[in-house]
């Protein structure tokens, strides 16, 4: 009987403990990783049309830090009095950008302010043509499309990009024989603006 009483007491205790136990379910800790974006950096180059002894000229433009206006590059081109100027500029992606969003690349070609035999005048570009780089698909995480005017739109898809050419801009100035001897210049600019 003692044995039976002991078993009954143990059974009663187990029943009481089981009755007070609750199911608290799973406890969760969420871990989060942030994959940071790499903003694009662009390079603007004069790739053809300079004098034969001149090297290619390039300027870097970072979407975070911008460009230093004190770093304007100067390059000599043929004598416009004797030659039509046919200049090719290239816009390049210079880093392994990994981001979303789109940008517009716009080329602006200024006038030469010159002294002619009949006074001061301007020589404006006779033509500006933008084109998407032929191998832009090999950049992977970026797509480029022609837009209005002298603009190219580039869109980033979040995939890590391969640096390289995005677009070219061809600028022509007409030969102008009645210019008096002097040093003349025109400013060519690439503006990169974000579309978001």
Domain hosting 182: range is 41-194
Name which residue leads in pLDDT, 89 or 60: 89
| Residue 192 token pair | 């990169």
Residue 106 lies in a domain: yes
Q: What is the CA radius of gyration of the chain?
A: 34
- On the question of pLDDT at 93 being above 60, the answer is yes
Selection from 57, 122, 119 nearest residue 87 by Cα: 57
The whole-number pLDDT of residue 54 equals 75
Tell me the per-residue pLDDT of 117-171, one tens digit each, with 9 for 90 and over.
Answer: 899 999 999 999 999 999 999 999 999 999 987 899 999 999 999 999 999 999 9
Domain-embedded: residue 31: no
Sheet order of strands, 151-157 included: 142-146, 151-157, 100-109, 188-194
Q: What region, left, alpha or beta, does residue 49 occupy, with left being phi > 0 and alpha being psi -120 to 50 degrees?
A: left
What is the full DSSP assignment across 102-133?
Answer: EEEEEEEE--EEEEETTEEEEE--SEEEEEE-
Report the mean per-residue pLDDT for the chain.
86
Q: Is residue 11 part of a domain?
A: no
* Residue 140 in tokens: 């992977």
Structural domain includes residue 112: yes
Q: Structurally, how many domains does the chain consist of?
A: 1
Q: Is residue 99 part of a domain?
A: yes
Residue 160 lies in a domain: yes
Number of other residues whose CB lies within 10 A of the CB of residue 79: 13
Query: For residue 67, is it within any domain?
Result: yes
Domain membership of residue 124 (yes or no) is yes
> Residue 26 pLDDT more than 60?
yes
């Amino acid at each position: 009987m003692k044995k039976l009483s002991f078993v009954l007491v143990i059974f009663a205790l187990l029943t009481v403990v089981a009755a007070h136990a609750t199911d608290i379910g799973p406890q969760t800790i969420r871990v989060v990783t942030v994959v940071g974006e790499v903003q694009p950096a662009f390079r603007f180059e004069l790739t053809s049309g300079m004098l034969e002894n001149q090297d290619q000229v390039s300027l870097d433009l970072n979407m975070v830090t911008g460009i230093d206006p004190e770093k304007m590059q100067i390059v000599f081109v043929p004598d416009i009095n004797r030659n039509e100027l046919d200049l090719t500029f290239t816009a390049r992606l210079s880093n392994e950008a990994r981001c979303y969003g789109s940008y517009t690349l716009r080329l602006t070609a200024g006038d030469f302010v010159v002294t002619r035999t009949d006074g001061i005048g301007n020589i404006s570009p006779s033509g500006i043509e933008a084109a998407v780089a032929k191998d832009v698909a090999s950049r992977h995480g970026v797509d480029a499309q022609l837009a209005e005017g002298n603009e190219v739109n580039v869109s980033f898809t979040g995939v890590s990009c391969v640096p390289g050419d995005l677009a070219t801009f061809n600028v022509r100035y007409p030969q102008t024989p009645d210019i008096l001897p002097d040093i003349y210049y025109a400013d060519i600019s690439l503006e990169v603006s974000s579309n978001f």
